[in-house]
Amino acid sequence: MRVEIIHASKYGNGKMVAEEIQRLMTSKGHQASVHDHGEARPRELPPADLYIFGTPARIGKPLGSMRRFIKKVDLPEGTRYALFATHGAPQPNKKTGELPSPEEQERWYTSIPVLTEILSSKGLVKVADIRVFVKDLKGPLEDDWQAKVGSFVEQILRER
């Protein structure tokens, strides 16, 4: 299987996730290439069996430049894709010390739903998505991020 991974990354966390996906895919005998969205052309993406798009979150939303990139993507209807997003880990309330409820957290994690809506409206088919948390603004990634990415890759391969 040929996989093209296109990511946006401000502090390098998304790049680390993209490179881990590439490493896992190639270790399983698949071809995988990683591209920064600033260097790729959305209307001229290389042919692939699967495209994986990744974005950091800004106030819970996808990075503006990645959202614009996704809107310009020109792929045939039925093309398969997967998404990953890096989000700030939930932080406890400074007054109460309690973490936000899962419902409250979901209101802040809109990167994947926004990108899914754009790509699905083009007739593309999502096979998987994952949210990877960052402990602080610039990193590092959450402790179990590599295992989480491994599960994501396994899910993608099961959907073949």
* CA distances for 55 relative to 65, 109, 111, 129, 155, angstroms: 9, 12, 8, 12, 19
Partners of 82 in beta bridges = 52, 128
- Phi, psi angle pair for 10, to nearest 5°: -90, -45
Residue 128 lies in domain: 2-91+98-158
Q: Give the domain CATH number at 141.
A: 3.40.50.360
Q: What is the mean pLDDT of each run of 10 residues along the chain (160 residues)?
A: 96 97 98 97 97 93 96 97 94 88 86 97 98 92 97 94
- Residues 77 and 34: their CA atoms lie apart, in Å, by 23
* Closest by CA position to 13, among listed 85, 81, 112, 61: 85
H or E element in which residue 66 lies: helix 64-72
pTM comes to 0.94
Q: Residues 68-106: pLDDT tens digits?
A: 999 999 999 999 999 999 999 888 888 998 988 888 888
Count of domains forming the chain: 1
